[in-house]
Structure 1
């Protein structure tokens, strides 16, 4: 059966706005700061079960920290679509103090203020998870049956910031199950990071480097007996800033801009003495096609060339391994793919001015699909990354509801419909 031309209008008319908003607000109400994903997963299990999903399962990727996944089987002759999102959020330190005495004081109360739903995790990324599930419910309400399968997998440990967490343990477990055949392999993936309903077929890569410079301490009155680590760090930082300019000049990606590195921290010094140790941290942005190994080797070479005294030692550590031992790889799929166009058009019909094809100015977990599994993936969901992780985190109600309609239209168009 051909998808009807008035699909978006039919879906908009069938949408139960109150139910979709209640699903979203309830998701925010389940606090799930990294490490406490189980609290939100219990809510998702209830809601996913209510949708009649097949093969609904949970499994712990670490003790007490579960993933959840399930699917809606279609008629059997269409492609398989997977929606993925992370269940954990960043912390709420300072939120209550910042909003004390206002409607926003409770970061998990999900108040609707000036047409937006507020709260921790609203944009990053419970709007996306809720919109994807509400989209399937909307297709049911509109009596639209699918040929292909729609699957959902919601995983933990994406966010950084909590001790001993944030290494993508959840998606590593999920991808391993797909590789083993325990979970069916998708044909296309939508990762529901917030994009303001734009479609992101490309994203940056990154790594963090911690550099330790060790010299020799000496009493301030006889500095010639020491080796000044802070002085060496000055030369190192100058070399790194020069290197940043060089890599930025190499190329520009139409969606994610230019590469660079940013020195994010410096610590060192001693009390009335030549400083023996200094540490600095940096983050390196990579474009699709750039190698993390090569980029790290270039930084190490730049640093070592700046330290001319052989008695001053330099050590490197890379604490943020994700889909690569050093960090997270960049990813890109062809923006001319039919799926990208369908999703873009669906969002543009659902809300004027949306569905724009752009690039992700952040790193998230689509490279596990694009680079590791060879499965095309994009980011798309309601929410604005610019207010996520802040006291201003919120999602416009109309954008969220448009996301529900847009996802439903895309599911129907991509998976195909039956009579």
Structure 2
């Protein structure tokens, strides 16, 4: 059998800080090809990506998605073991990416190799691995999906191997995610002396009015599968060093994590409407710069979700919660291609100094993925 724990340590030793490949995808390809996977590098704009398929094109296909890029480790002197050592101490693997998510990639690579080698299915298995999830994420999974569409490749369902469990294995499966919208607000008035406000137009008071209006009441109360949408003011910037000068401009940033009652377009329209109302009352002009990094989505409970939930419950001794909590992941791109959910390891140490994962947990995830594949193709 392929040992996912050993592969995790080997991947950690590849210094693949976004957007560097660091040898991680090369290592994975060297393992997949002897097992019969047809591998293609789908690099775009310097971003490394790997597509691998076992089985005939057009057959019933199960897919996995993940990333081998990692966030910077910070000061190596703060780590108990060097961040790219892949040290294994008393059953624990140490290093950047141990949790997020070289272990998840190692688990589905190892499971897929063993499954197609020992019990070749009547179907196909596709693995998509990107080197750009922790960064801008424009040329990672989106590039892989664009290439698949252009080349007639298709997954029927997909698991993203991100760490999905807050504290213990089998605690949670992510069946969707909230959307994320960021708006940069600039309020533009007229500079002047603070002692003569009638000769100026202070942009800060209308800016505060707008922010107060946006935060005065919740956007909604949540839905069946989603918690209430959240709106947070994340920064207010003026840069005015003088106490007796009314500034010309003030800036603020607002981030909204929204459920399936909203869309990027509907929230953009709402924000423009609220800003226009304050403009009309005060005479201050607003400039709004929007960025939607992902729409909300849901993979509704059904045969695919039930299969994964049943396997996880049997393996872990607990029925996982079906959740849409947390931030964004590459599932926000995969959902436009096929039904997708997220299940992986416990995420307690991700992005932290001394990131680490128990070997036993990685092997358990490998077994879970292998069982999911076996039941899907049964």
**Same fold (TM > 0.5):** yes
Distance 2:11 2:350 in 1: 16
Residue 218 of structure 1 and its aligned partner are, at CA, apart by 1.6
Correspondence for 1:146: 121
The CA deviation at 1:140 is 5.8
- Tell me how far 1:405 sits from its aligned partner: 0.1
More divergent stretch after superposition (19-28 vs 213-222): 213-222
Q: Which residue of 2 aligns with 1:5?
A: none
Alpha-carbon displacement from aligned partner over 1:363-390 (angstroms, at most 9, x marks no partner): 11223232x33x1111111231x53223
2:78 corresponds to: 98
Q: Is the Cα contact below 8 Å between 2:15 and 2:22 reproduced in 1? A: no
Offset, 1:167: 3.9
Matched, 1:288 2:260: yes
SS at 2:341 equivalent: strand
Q: For residues 270-320 of structure 1, what are the alpha-carbon distances to aligned partners after superposition, in whole Å with 9 as ceiling and x for unaligned?
A: 23211221111111111135211001211222233234555422111124x
Q: What's the C-alpha RMSD, in Å, of the aligned pairs?
A: 2.4
The reply on whether 1:190 has 2:190 as its aligned counterpart is no
Q: Distance in 1 between matches of 2:33 and 2:308?
A: 26
User: What pairs with 1:28-107 in structure 2 (closer than 5 Å)?
Assistant: 28-37=12-21, 39-53=23-37, 55-63=38-46, 65-73=47-55, 79-93=60-74, 95-99=75-79, 102-103=80-81, 106-107=82-83
The 5 Å alignment of 1:235-384 reads 235-242=209-216, 245-247=217-219, 250-272=220-242, 273-308=245-280, 310-319=282-291, 326-335=292-301, 337-353=302-318, 355-370=320-335, 372-373=336-337, 375-384=338-347
Bigger CA drift: 394-403 or 306-315?
306-315
TM-score by length of 1: 0.81
Secondary structure of 2:26's partner?
helix
Indicate conservation of the 8 Å contact 2:83/2:354, yes or no: no
Deviation digits for residues 84-143 of structure 1 (CA, Å, limit 9, x no counterpart): 1123222223x42533xx33xx222233456543322222221211100111233367x3
For 1:252, what is the secondary structure of its paired residue? coil
Q: Any idea what the Cα deviations from partners look like across 1:3-61, whole Å, max 9, x if unmatched?
A: xxxxxxxxxxxx56xx32110111122122222136422222222224331x2110221
Name the SS for the 1:257 alignment partner.
Answer: coil
| Cα distance between partner residues in 2 of 1:414 and 1:67 | 26
CA shift in 2, pair 1:137/1:185, >3 Å: closer
Contact 2:206 2:282 in 1 (8 A): no
Moved more, 289-298 or 114-123: 114-123
Higher helix content, 1 or 2: 1
Question: Structure 1 regions of 5+ residues with no counterpart?
Answer: 1-14, 161-165, 320-325
Matches within 5 A, 1:130-209: 130-139=106-115, 143-160=118-135, 166-180=136-150, 182-196=151-165, 197=170, 198-209=172-183
From 200, 207, 218, the counterpart of 1:233: 207
Are the aligned partners of 2:48 and 2:132 in contact in 1 as well (CA < 8 Å)? Answer: no
Contact 2:42 2:144 in 1 (8 A): no
Secondary structure of the 1:334 match is: coil
After superposition, the Cα gap between the structure-2 partners of 1:40 and 1:346, relative to the gap in structure 1 and judged at 3 Å, is same
TM-superposed CA distance for 1:238, in Å, is 0.8
TM-score when normalising by structure 2: 0.89
Q: 1:167 to 1:309 in 2, by over 3 A?
A: farther
Report the 3-state secondary structure (helix = DSSP H, G, I; strand = E; otherwise coil) of the residue aligned with 2:352.
Answer: coil
On the 8 A contact 1:127/1:383 being kept in 2, the answer is no
Q: Secondary structure of the equivalent of 1:270?
A: coil
Seen in structure 2, the aligned counterparts of structure 1 residues 183 and 122 have a Cα distance that, compared at 3 Å, is farther
Is the Cα contact below 8 Å between 1:347 and 1:403 reproduced in 2? no
Change (3 A) 1:271 1:220: farther
Residues 188, 248 of structure 2: 8 Å contact kept: yes
Maintained 8 Å contact 1:349/1:406:
no
Aligned to 1:4: none
Compared with structure 1, are the counterparts of its residues 239 and 97 closer, same or farther at alpha carbon in structure 2 (3 Å cutoff)? farther
